[in-house]
Structure 1
Amino acid sequence: MAAMPSADARSGSAPSYAAVLRIPHARRAFGAAMLGRLSYGTIPLSLLLAVKSGTGSYAVAGTVMALFGATSVLLSPMRAGLVDRYGARRALPSMVALYAVLLVGIAVATWRPGASGVWVGVAVAAAGACTPPVGPVMRAVWSELAPDRELLQRAYSLDGVAEEIVFASGPLLVGLLVGWAPAAAGVLLAASLIVVGTMALVGSPAVRRAGEAGDEAGAGEAAESGSASGGTGLWRAVVVAGGVGVALGGIDLLAVAFADERGRSAAVAWILAALSVGSAVGGLAHGAVSWRVSADRRLPLLALGLGASLAAAGLSPNLYVLAAAAMLTGLFVAPAITTAYLLADAAATPNTRTRVGAWVNTTLNAGTSAGAAATGALIAHVPLPLLFPLTALPLLLTAAATAFGTGTGRRSRRPARVG
């Protein structure tokens, strides 16, 4: 069942962010999804502090976090595939129940010192494997609620900026909590948020509507589902998302090293805040524009802008210039990620939409981990001004690789807006 066009669409004007939130049932689903995603903003720091407190070892805490990241990221497409196959209303409750039980068990085990690092590691790895794909599900819901491509662009932009705010505020919330409670209390908070948010999302009419639309289209598009995941548009989206991830993974360490060289380690927070502000501004601005350039042509340009601005940041003579360069770099971050999701969605069928979005998310996160690891390995051996362009190089290469042959991929099933 397709959503009714917004008032903006019927009047012929470009849809606004307010039009996104006026879509029937959108606010309820979006609010529930953001509450669930707040759990993802709190869980990394909560787990790190809880495992360190419970085992007394930074090495164990670091290893456990690597296990959590690996199982969560690498198995994301599989979990999304279960949602595509069985529907969010059937798949998500089982995932969130198992995930929450494991988190509660981890919190109990690490509440006091003396926890077994082996058993905590097994439980954390299992929890990562069960992480509910709230983000991919919400993007799939947006795709069903917003049949107009410009409205969907604004929905994805709003979703991306809100998600970035949630991930930035999550550690602050954990910091406030552990100031007066044991570190494991943050893990319990994350479990509570994901249960309440996910179950509210599953119970929303928007998810029910999306499920009905998928069931109606499933029989007719079953033959397409295998080819969608290998479409040209999806390939471009995944490749660029990986390049963006590599760049983002390196930026944090580069900012820390730059600030340390100048004896002002605390300034790194301002540099990263400038990056986030730039991303939020860029995301909102990108979503508000009625682009005449298609997403597959726009994506390499955004990747090029992000890579070039990151490379140029290495020439910064001081922290103030680097903060300005970080804000400029951030202007391309959210637009590039949003466009990658839009391009992937255009390559999907209702039977593969959640999985396709999860592939973009997976490569973005995997790229972030790879970028952090590579930058960490090189930072002691390569001059810092040169390391900035080296970190940007994979993204620049992906921009070049995806710039050729654009416009030949499968077109969206939605009619494009005129004017």
Structure 2
Amino acid sequence: MSSSSYRAVLRAPGAARLFGAALIGRLSYGTVSLSLLLAVAATTGSYARAGWVMAVFSTVSVLLFPARAGLVDRHGARRVLPPMAAGYALTLVGLAAATWRSGVPYPVLLVLAAAAGVFAPPLGPVTRAQWSRLVTDPELRRRAYSLDTVAEELLYVTGPLLAGALASVARPAVGLLLSAVLVLGGTVALAVSVPREAARNNSAEEAASSSTKGLLSRARQPLAAAAGAGAGLGAFGLLAVVFAGRHGRDADVAWVEAALAAGSAVGGLALGAVNWRAAAGNRLTVLTALLGAALALAALAPSLPVLAVIAAFAGLAVAPTLTTAYLLTDEIAPPEQRTRAGAWVNTAFNAGGSASTALVGLLTERLPLSVCLLLAAAPVLAALAAAPSWRRTADTGRGVLTEG
């Protein structure tokens, strides 16, 4: 078996168990959003109220994501993940009970949604931190991150499909119960697969806390790239719905989303399969530029099929961009801060998406759609300002990074 094979990654001791447990747990995040939206809408009779519940859940989860990851760094995944998963699962069960029938006061739903956001376990950053421990070879680690990113994205495609199918034959609240079972089972299995870690002393915790600011400063390129990608994709997702509505039916946007996901999967797998000589920072610069350029092309799309083709082209850079951002952050962060550093990348991506969606929603009422599509590429291209400069070394001729 060639060392370049993805199978070689999963053959590393403990890798298959880690990967399987992470898939089960993270599938919960693919099913919970649509299930919660449908369940709240069904019990309140209002999609506006359902949207506010989703906003509370997402905002609390995103804002506290780095803090939860920091707890894992300080106390270890085995100690922290099971209580988080139990609290998260219980709040989902509470939401399922509250939305099973109408009549529960709306503020109760908001409180339960906020509680779910508080407890949601940081499964992605924990999984990526464990890949760094299980796979020491840099090439295999890149393949592990690529495989992990592609799998995570596919879960966010299949999760809503599963939730939608379940809601068509049962109450939407059943999807919340399924999400609770998935996250509890997957998180406990993931925690068990993680090696035991020694507790950190106070001086180590103080040192880690004091170095957080320095870590964020050194990681500005991957954080900017993640935030830009999140903003661009968030804006594009909303604009694609508007585009589909003007060129056919709103539901036809599914073809654009499927094309974007397919392109992302192909690009992510290709990133891991090819032996790259360029440094991670240089790769991230190129990938960010390609993603921004592809999104800008959407402004020229005359029809929905053409927009789907452009989305597939843009997708080729999505998973590679995120994977490389995580890899570069992993290189920068000390081992005791890898989970938190990965969480910051995740937070930057989600925050960028949330902010741009809200802004673009206002711009669509004031600007032509083609201009809005062009503006969707702006935050991605703006992230290039955080990229280090290139220089060439005289002895090797290979590109390396300097701060600039």
Give the TM interval when normalised to the shorter protein. Answer: over 0.9
TM-score, normalization by structure 1: 0.89
- Secondary structure in structure 1 of the residue aligned to 2:222: helix
Q: Find the aligned partners of 2:338 and 2:202 in 1 and give their Cα distance.
A: 12
Q: Does 1:401 align with 2:386?
A: yes
Q: 1:295 aligns with which of 246, 269, 280?
A: 280
Alpha-carbon distance in structure 2 between the residues aligned to 1:408 and 1:249: 31
1:268 maps to a residue whose letter is V
Mean Cα deviation higher: 81-90 or 393-402:
393-402
Q: Secondary structure of 1:37's match? A: helix
Aligned pairs for 1:97-136 within 5 A: 97-136=86-125
State the SS of the aligned residue for 1:407. strand
CA distance 1:390–1:124, change in 2 (3 Å): same
CA separation of 1:218 and 1:303: change in aligned 2, threshold 3 A: farther
Corresponding position: 1:375 with 2:360: yes
Would the alpha carbon gap of residues 372 and 16 (structure 1) be closer, same or farther in structure 2, given more than 3 Å must change? Answer: same
Matched residue SS, 1:159: helix
- Per the alignment, residue 396 of structure 2 pairs with none
1:24-43 maps to which residues of 2 (within 5 A)? 24-43=13-32
Write the deviation string for residues 125-146 of structure 1: whole angstroms up to 9, x where unpaired.
Answer: 1111110111111001001111
Counterpart of 1:152 (choices 129, 137, 141) is: 141
Task: Say if 1:229 and 1:352, in contact at 8 Å, map to a contact too.
Answer: no
1:234 matched to 2:219? The reply is: yes
| Higher mean displacement: 247-256 or 35-44 | 247-256
The residue identity in structure 2 corresponding to 1:337 is L
Question: Of the candidates 306, 310, 314, which is equivalent to residue 321 of structure 1?
Answer: 306
Counting aligned pairs with the same residue, the percent is 54
Matched-pair contact (CA < 8 Å) for 2:208–2:337: no
- Alignment equivalent of 1:339, drawn from 324, 336, 343: 324
Q: Distance in 2 between matches of 1:118 and 1:217?
A: 41
CA distance in 1, matches of 2:331, 2:47: 44
Residue deviations 1:254-306 (CA, integer Å, cap 9, x gap): 11121222234332111111111000000000111111110111112111100
* C-alpha displacement of 1:230: 2.5
What residue identity is the alignment partner of 1:22?
R
Q: Is the 8 A contact 1:222 1:351 kept in 2?
A: no
Aligned residues: 393
Structure 1 gap ranges (5+): 1-6, 9-13, 410-419
Equivalent runs, 1:17-56 vs 2, <5 Å: 17-56=6-45
> What residue in structure 1 maps to residue 267 of structure 2?
282
Deviation at 1:220, TM superposition (A): 8.4
Is the contact between residue 228 and residue 348 of structure 1 (CA under 8 Å) also seen in structure 2? no
Shift of 1:159: 0.3
Matched, 1:68 2:57: yes
Aligned mates of 1:286, 1:215 — CA distance in 2: 36
Which residue is equivalent to 2:154?
A: 165
Say what the alpha-carbon RMSD is for the aligned residues.
Answer: 2.0
Aligned pair partner of 1:304 in 261, 271, 289 = 289
Cα 1:242–1:21 change in 2 (3 A) is: same
Q: How big is the shift at 1:101?
A: 1.0
Question: What are structure 2's unaligned runs of at least 5 residues?
Answer: 391-399
| Corresponding residue number in structure 2 for 1:262 | 247
